């Protein structure tokens, strides 16, 4: 167990109530370090790919909409990410127990937004594939400072909520209702992004 039932219950309550929840220091320093080390190895090995928009045959790369580079994770292949997948399993169980949400599939990628890039306002469900239910973001930027940019803006009930992408912060939101945008980042911006799915992910790694 990473967290107590009480802690999960309070996060799940907030998610149910507000459609999103933020948890700071969600991952430990050890987990943070191991993710960043793996990220650096992947980057050096040139394993990050330009991200696109849309599913399968509609997939296109449009840097003016989205400028990040991604690496799709695979639980069995990406062994250094095992503790992270354990934590996601606990999240999934908590959603089932406390929100009555049964989400059998998932897909996760590491993402790097180079300086000068952004992601336009959007919803995480594609028209042709709407099985994404919960968006999971873990930010990985140590020493993030105001002025670095790359904040996530959540659009909700005429409000614009700015979330700073600071290291170890978790953000969960409901993928079908929360429109959001990544503001232009002025420094390289690192994150781990994923989705919990109504059905298993068969083609997730083909998608943007
Ligand atoms: O990195 C973020 O803050 C959001 C990324 C995003 O919206 C996405 O990948 O769909
Ligand atoms: Fe998104």
What is the DSSP secondary structure assignment for residue 49, as one 8-state letter? E
Phi, psi of 154 (to 5 degrees): -100, 125
Q: Is 148 in the pocket of ligand 1 (CB under 6 A)?
A: no
pLDDT at 208 (0 to 100): 45
Burial grade of 96 (CB within 10 A; 0-12, 13-18, 19 or more)? middle
Ligand 1 in reach of 119 Cβ (< 6 A): yes
pLDDT tens digits in sequence order for the chain, 208 residues long: 999 999 999 999 999 999 999 999 999 999 999 999 999 999 999 999 998 876 666 667 677 789 999 999 999 999 999 999 999 999 999 999 999 999 999 999 999 999 999 999 999 987 666 789 999 999 999 999 999 999 999 999 999 999 999 999 999 999 999 999 999 999 999 999 999 999 766 555 555 4
State the fold for domain 5-200: Jelly Rolls (2.60.120)
CA of 193 to the centre of ligand 1 (A): 7
Q: Which atom of ligand 1 is nearest to the CA of 111?
A: 1
| Ligand 1 atom nearest to 70, measured from its CA | 9
Taking the domains of the chain in order of start, what are their residue ranges? Answer: 5-200
Which residues lie closer than 8 Å to 67 by C-beta, 6 or more apart?
113, 114, 116, 117, 118, 119
| pTM attached to this predicted model | 0.93
pLDDT at res. 203:
54
Residue holding tokens 């409901």?
174
């Amino acid at each position: 167990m990473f967290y107590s039932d009480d802690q999960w219950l309070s996060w799940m309550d907030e998610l149910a109530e507000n459609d999103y929840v933020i948890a700071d220091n969600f991952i430990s320093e050890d987990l943070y370090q191991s993710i960043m080390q793996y990220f650096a190895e992947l980057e050096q090995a040139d394993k990050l790919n330009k991200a696109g928009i849309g599913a399968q045959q509609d997939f296109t790369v449009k840097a003016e909409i989205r400028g990040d580079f991604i690496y799709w994770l695979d639980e069995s292949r990406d062994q250094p990410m095992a503790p992270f997948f354990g934590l996601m399993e606990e999240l999934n169980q908590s959603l089932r127990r406390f929100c009555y949400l049964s989400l059998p599939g998932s897909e996760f990628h590491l993402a790097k937004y180079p300086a000068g890039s952004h992601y336009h306002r959007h919803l995480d469900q594609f028209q042709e594939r709407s099985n994404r239910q919960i968006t999971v973001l873990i930010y990985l930027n140590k020493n993030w400072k105001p002025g670095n940019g790359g904040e996530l803006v959540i659009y909700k009930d005429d409000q614009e909520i700015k979330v700073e992408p600071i290291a170890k912060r978790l953000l969960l939101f409901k993928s079908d209702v929360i429109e959001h945008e990544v503001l232009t980042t002025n420094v390289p911006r690192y994150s781990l992004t994923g989705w919990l799915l109504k059905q298993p992910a068969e083609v997730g790694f083909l998608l943007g």
